[in-house]
Amino acid sequence: MSGKHYALVCLLVLLVPATALAHSPIQGIGNFYNGLLHPVLVPAHLLLLLAVGLFLGQQGPKRVELALGAFAAATVVGLVVAWFANDLGLETLVLALSATVGLLVAMSPHIALTWCVIIALLAGLMLGIDSAQAELSGQDKLASLFGSGVAIYFLALYPLAMADYFNQKAWQKIGIRIVGSWVAASSLLVLALSLAPKP
């Protein structure tokens, strides 16, 4: 097949319509694994997990323990809410919180423990509630939400550990702050696009 024919076939494949879902599952891998991959495949969730993890990692070990426990508890509460309610449309709030926490990472402040816990509670609650997949019910939905809960908790630990590990030298702290500014900028861009009037 020549290059022109290959390009034509690729163009035709792109024109074939497919079902578009906000939280579309991957066919054939099971509901638990779909839930496990859900936070990775939803950019707003990934941005918030990265921002919260970096933020908590900057705060030091004493503050992290309580805030991380609050994050886990709030995630469970959010998943319970998601069990009863479908698609509450929290993506805009998730992006706004991602931008706010990303800016905090970029500024690198040591804030009061109360505020660390509040930020962790909000993030966990929003991520849990927004993890519902409307097309699932019963045991399928339970497996998906359980997978999402496991993924949310562990995905928050990776940036937290990275921020804590790279918190020794000035240039490392600057690198973490740069990543925080990228998260904030990405969140604001997606938020602006989602709030822009449709043509």
> pLDDT digit string (tens) for 55-96?
998 887 777 888 888 999 999 998 888 888 776 778 889 899
199 in any annotated domain: no
pLDDT category, 134, cuts 50, 70, 90?
Answer: low
Q: Which helix (H) or strand (E) holds 101?
A: helix 91-107
CA-based max dimension of the chain? 64
Q: Could you give the CA distance from residue 44 to residue 80 in angstroms, rounded to a whole number?
A: 20
Q: What is the DSSP string of 27-88?
A: TTS-HHHHHHHHHHH-HHHHHHHHHHHHHHHHT-HHHHHHHHHHHHHHHHHHHHHHHH----
pLDDT of residue 74: 93
- What is the tally of helices (H) and strands (E) in the chain? 8, 0
Tally of structural domains, the chain: 1
Q: Judge contact between 111 and 100, C-beta under 8 A.
A: no
Evaluate if pTM is beyond 0.85. Answer: no
14 in any annotated domain: no
Q: Which domain holds residue 49?
A: 28-194
**HSE toward the beta carbon, residue 118, CA cutoff 13 A:** 8
159 in any annotated domain: yes
- Cα radius of gyration (the chain): 19
72 in any annotated domain: yes
Token pair of 174 as six digits? 């600057």
Amino acid, single-letter form, for residue 138: G
pLDDT digits (tens, 9 = 90+) for 139-158: 777 787 888 888 999 999 88
157 in any annotated domain: yes
Amino acid, single-letter form, for residue 100: T
3 in any annotated domain: no
Residue 157, φ and ψ in degrees, nearest 5: -70, -35
**HSE toward the beta carbon, residue 162, CA cutoff 13 A:** 19
**Checking phi first, is residue 181 left (phi over 0); if not, alpha (psi -120 to 50) or beta?**
alpha
169 in any annotated domain: yes
pLDDT category, 14, cuts 50, 70, 90?
Answer: very low
